[in-house]
A and B are shown apart, each in its own frame.
Chain A
Amino acid sequence: RKEVEQDPGPFNVPEGATVAFNCTYSNSASQSFFWYRQDCRKEPKLLMSVYSSGNEDGRFTAQLNRASQYISLLIRDSKLSDSATYLCVVSNNAGNMLTFGGGTRLMVKP
């Protein structure tokens, strides 16, 4: 079993749609959680950290369920520019390493 698992997609959605991605992780002692965005043939960039109470940044909402070891990302009012691969990222219990999921690819169509 992979340490961080994501549905690879692709998710094809029209502009303006709401889309949700899920991620599960296997290490119950993980300390920190993130969503990164990676455009085609580019480097990953931090989209947002994920806090236990859930957090929102504009059209993006992230949630963490420690009991189920589950992280989600909700994107509202999708834009063409949201087309990218979204990486779920989890730290190990020592906090000195990040483990990346394989990514979920999103394609927003006009």
Chain B
Amino acid sequence: NAGVTQTPKFRVLKTGQSMTLLCAQDMNHEYMYWYRQDPGMGLRLIHYSVGEGTTAKGEVPDGYNVSRLKKQNFLLGLESAAPSQTSVYFCASSWKDASHTDTQYFGPGTRLTVL
């Protein structure tokens, strides 16, 4: 049982390049989330999914797209990377939505630098 895994762990991109971050969970969770964490800002929600085939915008969705084709995977895409997207990206999953006192399990994070 690996929990939540993220690929890759580190990446350096040039401005304008594209990439996809992969999140996988083996806990059969319905809900999955992508956050970014910047110094002093706390984690901010980019997009989330309440089940296979569904996605929704979070607090800071601009410049990102997501897909949830399989229940266990949640992909985050950057179509044209910008230096402002330099951040640590965390994926998380949970059984229930945030209205319940339910744990969100986080992956180890992806450190992305855009030059």
Q: Tell me the A residues contacting B by CB distance below 8 Å.
A: 4, 8, 31-32, 34, 42-46, 49, 51, 87, 91-92, 94-103
| Contacting residue for A97 out of B45, B103, B107, CB 8 A | B45
- Taking CB atoms, residues of chain B closer than 8 Å to A87 are 42-43
- Taking CB atoms, residues of chain A closer than 8 Å to B107 are 43
Contact A98 to B101, CB < 8 A, known contacts A44-B90, A87-B42, A103-B42: no
A31 to B101, CA, bound (A): 9
The 3 A-B pairs of least Cβ separation, nearest first, read A95-B99, A43-B106, A91-B98
Distance (whole angstroms) from the CB of A32 to the closest CB of chain B = 6
Distance (whole angstroms) from the CB of A31 to the closest CB of chain B = 5
* B58 beta carbon closer than 8 Å to chain A: yes
A99 to B43, CA, bound (A): 8
Q: Is the CB of B40 within 8 A of A98?
A: no
Q: Is the CB of A46 within 8 A of B108?
A: no
A102 to B43, CA, bound (A): 7
Q: Is the CB of B103 within 8 A of A4?
A: no
| Contacting residue for A98 out of B50, B98, B108, B109, CB 8 A | B98
Distance (whole angstroms) from the CB of B8 to the closest CB of chain A = 15
A45 to B3, CA, bound (A): 12
Distance (whole angstroms) from the CB of A59 to the closest CB of chain B = 20
- Taking CB atoms, residues of chain A closer than 8 Å to B90 are 43-44
Q: Is the CB of A96 within 8 A of B42?
A: no
How many residues does chain B have at the interface if contact means C-beta atoms less than 8 Å apart? 24
* B26 beta carbon closer than 8 Å to chain A: no
* B2 beta carbon closer than 8 Å to chain A: no
For A88, give the chain B residue with the smallest CB separation: B42
For A92, give the chain B residue with the smallest CB separation: B98
Distance (whole angstroms) from the CB of B43 to the closest CB of chain A = 4
Residue of B90, B99, B104 contacting most chain A CB atoms (<10 Å)? B99
Contact A102 to B108, CB < 8 A, known contacts A32-B100, A96-B99: no
* B79 beta carbon closer than 8 Å to chain A: no
Distance (whole angstroms) from the CB of B66 to the closest CB of chain A = 15
A106 to B97, CA, bound (A): 29
For A93, give the chain B residue with the smallest CB separation: B99
